Structure 1
């Protein structure tokens, strides 16, 4: 029995001795290193795959959140109460989620409302200027019932709050929804939609030109505007050309810009109206500055070049070889090409201003 124990101890000592020699064998060490490296690589790959799966799950959750919430609440257009800095504002969920793919819509979609801050009465609490939140909600209300032929005007905010309002829109992802970027620059007549008060002016498009002709209404003001808005903030600004083909009875005609697409038939007195009439009038924010800058009147056949840039509207008369300039209100969110026509029979042509004409206008 004792001999067996001695033999077992000797075998263990021999094995331990062999292991000590293996530790000195480079090939054995290399093999062990390779196996260890493979295990680490496998573990890292598994962790990477798990992380990627988590990221994809999260992205799918975010992308599908609005549609999923809408499906869950499609038959339940609930009223949501908001405590905006102490002011209580109520609105339908469908109103608050009108602007697609925005943080504001995600907030009120129904998916994350439980995680939003609440006041003591369980109202959603927004720690922002209540006046600005109310402007946002009221604009969404109007957009919800918008008539495509009379687009809702972007909100006008007092100048002392305009920077804060712009910041808030960017924060909620609403900036492009409230103030869409201009669709064209330079002027692309194929993309222009004409807005008018009534239907007394016919519109004909051809060869990158638009012809306007007042056919009915007799001696009555008619408001005409072109959307989308002009770009006044780019390096070049916006250029366009108007030719007075027929000036019926040498009557009233206003050419210029306006910031209000819902203006009435006498749009020349709108506070966002700027331009020149053939009654020696210069309209500045709806007010007449008679004879300002030496302006007199339009004539039949006259060709007029316009340029809107920053805070200035410029008109150059080819026939008079003279430039006229009006300072405009830069707090108005957007401006549109604007006509006001009085007598039936008056005809105008709108077209882009050529590059050479633009250059000459800037140089003069």
Structure 2
């Protein structure tokens, strides 16, 4: 009888708790306390449920729904207990806070910085909570170069050899007695014509690519930038940088160096075309170069442009990896 009475009291307490939960109105402005490995965090329910509850385990935990609440582990003070690294939980909560006010900021919110030794653990935690795509959205198709389906156009003949693999195009200026025929050899690298969006994306996200200066002879000319197909760097559609003559804006050479440092052999360059700016970041020099594109020319179709002059010049075109893209944006 005593055991039965104890069970009855226990069951009644559970029923009372459930009734209390059902009777308590849930509000986005509720302040939720979290005990993460002994460190206490306080945040609004609307912050913790920034991602729709139906989409993530994390939001479901704090949605206030009775069926979810009964599954939560709580500490001695009734706080939701998360048996995870408190530093990583703090990064998650702070990023959710930042995303709440994203529309009020003039700059897009970047993915959070994570201590170097904890990146793998953080990614595993995001996967567990269902937050991976929210923290690291997959690149839109327009941002990633489909190297396998890109063409290389050479209006002045085929003095440049293009070796193409799945993720790289390597361009080598041919040698020989007639290498100066047609003067400078202009190339435009572009997606195939059957692509629904053949030109570079110059919209909100922009386009990213990487160029490596593999070989740069002593007497050199290399131009890297953007422009229209079948047009040279002297055309009004062209914006970029070159060895020997500096910066080109709308087909005109910029007077003065504007901080330009020339290309060097072995240099890796990250490019980002976005709205009215062309950005080039040199990894080896840890320097960022920016060209402003005239607003009247923003609606043009742009392609990745190259100009190789001397025999032996060799450069490689590749898509930027996720980490390289994030690094470039941090420098932006």
TM-score by length of 1: 0.47
Counterpart Cα distance in 2 of 1:207 and 1:311: 30
**Mapping for residues 297-336 of structure 1, pairs under 5 Å:** 297-330=262-295, 331=297, 332-336=299-303
Q: Number of matched residues?
A: 178
Counterpart Cα distance in 1 of 2:256 and 2:309: 20
Counterpart Cα distance in 1 of 2:285 and 2:234: 26
1:185 and 2:153 equivalent? no
Deviations 1:171-216 (A, max 9, x none): xxxxxxxxxxx98431110111111121101111124001001114
Counterpart Cα distance in 2 of 1:240 and 1:208: 11
Match of 2:200 in 1: 230
Shift of 1:315: 0.3
Contact kept, 8 Å, 1:280 with 1:296, in 2: the verdict is no
Match of 2:217 in 1: 248
Contact kept, 8 Å, 2:245 with 2:253, in 1: the verdict is no
Counterpart Cα distance in 1 of 2:277 and 2:257: 15
**Unaligned stretches of 5+ in structure 2?**
1-139, 192-198
1:218 pairs, out of 176, 179, 194, with 179
Match of 2:329 in 1: 362
Deviations 1:320-364 (A, max 9, x none): 100000011343421000001110110110000111111111111
SS at match of 1:251: coil
Deviations 1:9-63 (A, max 9, x none): xxxxxxxxxxxxxxxxxxxxxxxxxxxxxxxxxxxxxxxxxxxxxxxxxxxxxxx
Contact kept, 8 Å, 1:280 with 1:290, in 2: the verdict is no
Counterpart Cα distance in 2 of 1:291 and 1:358: 30
Counterpart Cα distance in 1 of 2:245 and 2:260: 6
Larger Rg: 1
Q: What root-mean-square deviation, in Å, do the aligned CA atoms of Structure 1 and Structure 2 show? A: 1.8
SS at match of 1:359: helix
SS at match of 1:319: coil
Distance 1:242 1:291, change over 3 A: farther
**Mapping for residues 337-348 of structure 1, pairs under 5 Å:** 337-348=304-315
Counterpart Cα distance in 2 of 1:241 and 1:283: 19
Deviations 1:139-191 (A, max 9, x none): xxxxxxxxxxxxxxxxxxxxxxxxxxxxxxxxxxxxxxxxxxx9843111011
Match of 2:159 in 1: 200
**Unaligned stretches of 5+ in structure 1?**
1-181
Q: Once superposed, which parts of structure 1, at least 4 consecutive aligned residues long, lie more than 2 Å away?
A: 182-185, 216-220, 290-293, 329-332
Contact kept, 8 Å, 1:279 with 1:296, in 2: the verdict is no
Counterpart Cα distance in 2 of 1:290 and 1:302: 24
Counterpart Cα distance in 2 of 1:312 and 1:184: 17
Distance 1:193 1:363, change over 3 A: same
SS at match of 1:324: strand
